[in-house]
Structure 1
Amino acid sequence: MSFQGSYLTAAVATAGVIGGAYCAYSMYQVYQKPQLPTVWNEVGTLKDLYVYPIKSCGPIILSKAECTILGLKDGWLRDRVLMVVDDKNNFITARAHPELLLVQPKVRSSILTLNCNGMESIDINLAEVIALQTPKPATVWGVTVPVYDCGWEASEWFSRLNKTATSFRLVYYASQNSRELRGSTNKFYKFTKNDTGALPDEVPFNLINQASVDDLNTRLDGCQVTPRNFRPNFVLTGAKPYDEDAWKFVKIGDNIFEIIKPCTRCILTTIDPETGVRNAKTEPLETLKNYRQIEDPRVRISVGNSPRMGLQISLRSGPGGIISVNDTIYAA
Structure 2
Amino acid sequence: MMIWSRDLGIAAAAVTADGGGWRWVAWGAVGGCLAVGGLWLWLSRRREVRVRVGTVSALAIFPVKSCRPLALTEAACGPRGMSLGPVKDRHWLVVTEQSGAQVTARQEPRLVLVEVTWDSSDAGLLRFTAPGVAAALAVPISLPPTNPVRTCRVFGMDVPGRDCGDEAAAWFTAFLASAAPLRLVHFEDDMEARQLLRMSAPCIPLIAHTPADKVAYSDYSPYMLMTEASMEDLHAKLEKKTVSLRNFRPNIVVSGCAAFDEDSWERLEIGTVRLRKLKRCDRCVLTTVDPDTGVKDGKEPLETLRSYRLCEPTEKHVWGTAPFFGVNFTIERLGVMRVGDPVFRVLR
The structure in which a higher percent of residues are strand is 2
Aligned twin of 1:92: 103
| 1:241 aligned to which of 234, 254, 259 | 259
1:79 paired to 2:89: yes
Equivalent position amino acid for 1:293 in 2: L
Aligned positions of 1:97-112 closer than 5 A: 97-108=108-119, 109-112=123-126
Deviation at 1:131, TM superposition (A): 3.1
Aligned twin of 2:158: 144
Aligned twin of 1:70: 80
Output the CA distance in 2 between the equivalents of 1:197 and 1:294.
25
Deviation at 1:315, TM superposition (A): 0.4
Output the CA distance in 2 between the equivalents of 1:220 and 1:55.
27
Output the CA distance in 2 between the equivalents of 1:326 and 1:56.
26
| Aligned 8 A contact 2:147 2:165 in 1 | no
Deviation at 1:105, TM superposition (A): 0.8
Aligned positions of 1:1-332 closer than 5 A: 38-86=48-96, 87-108=98-119, 109-119=123-133, 120-127=135-142, 129-176=143-190, 177-181=192-196, 182-184=199-201, 185-279=203-297, 282-295=299-312, 297=314, 299-317=315-333, 319=334, 321-332=335-346
Deviation at 1:96, TM superposition (A): 1.4
Q: Which runs of 5+ in 1 are unaligned?
A: 1-34
Pair member with larger Rg: 2
1:37-56 deviation line (CA, Å, top 9, x unaligned): 72111011111101000011
Output the CA distance in 2 between the equivalents of 1:60 and 1:264.
23
1:280-302 deviation line (CA, Å, top 9, x unaligned): 6x1110000010011162x3212
**Which stretch shifts more, 246-255 or 225-234?**
246-255
| Aligned 8 A contact 1:143 1:180 in 2 | no
Equivalent position amino acid for 1:310 in 2: G
Q: Secondary structure at the match of 2:118?
A: strand
Q: Secondary structure at the match of 1:132?
A: coil
Deviation at 1:223, TM superposition (A): 2.8
Output the CA distance in 2 between the equivalents of 1:224 and 1:247.
28
| TM-score normalised by the chain length of structure 1 | 0.84
Deviation at 1:125, TM superposition (A): 0.9
Equivalent position amino acid for 2:332 in 1: R
Q: Secondary structure at the match of 2:204?
A: coil
Q: Which runs of 5+ in 2 are unaligned?
A: 1-43
Output the CA distance in 1 between the equivalents of 2:209 and 2:221.
9
| Aligned 8 A contact 2:195 2:215 in 1 | no
| Aligned 8 A contact 1:46 1:328 in 2 | yes
1:150-172 deviation line (CA, Å, top 9, x unaligned): 00000000011111334100001
| TM-score normalised by the chain length of structure 2 | 0.80
Deviation at 1:175, TM superposition (A): 4.1
Output the CA distance in 2 between the equivalents of 1:130 and 1:207.
35
Equivalent position amino acid for 1:301 in 2: H
**Which stretch shifts more, 234-243 or 221-230?**
221-230
Output the CA distance in 2 between the equivalents of 1:38 and 1:296.
33
4+ residue stretches of structure 1 with deviation over 4 A? none
Percentage of matched positions with identical amino acids: 33
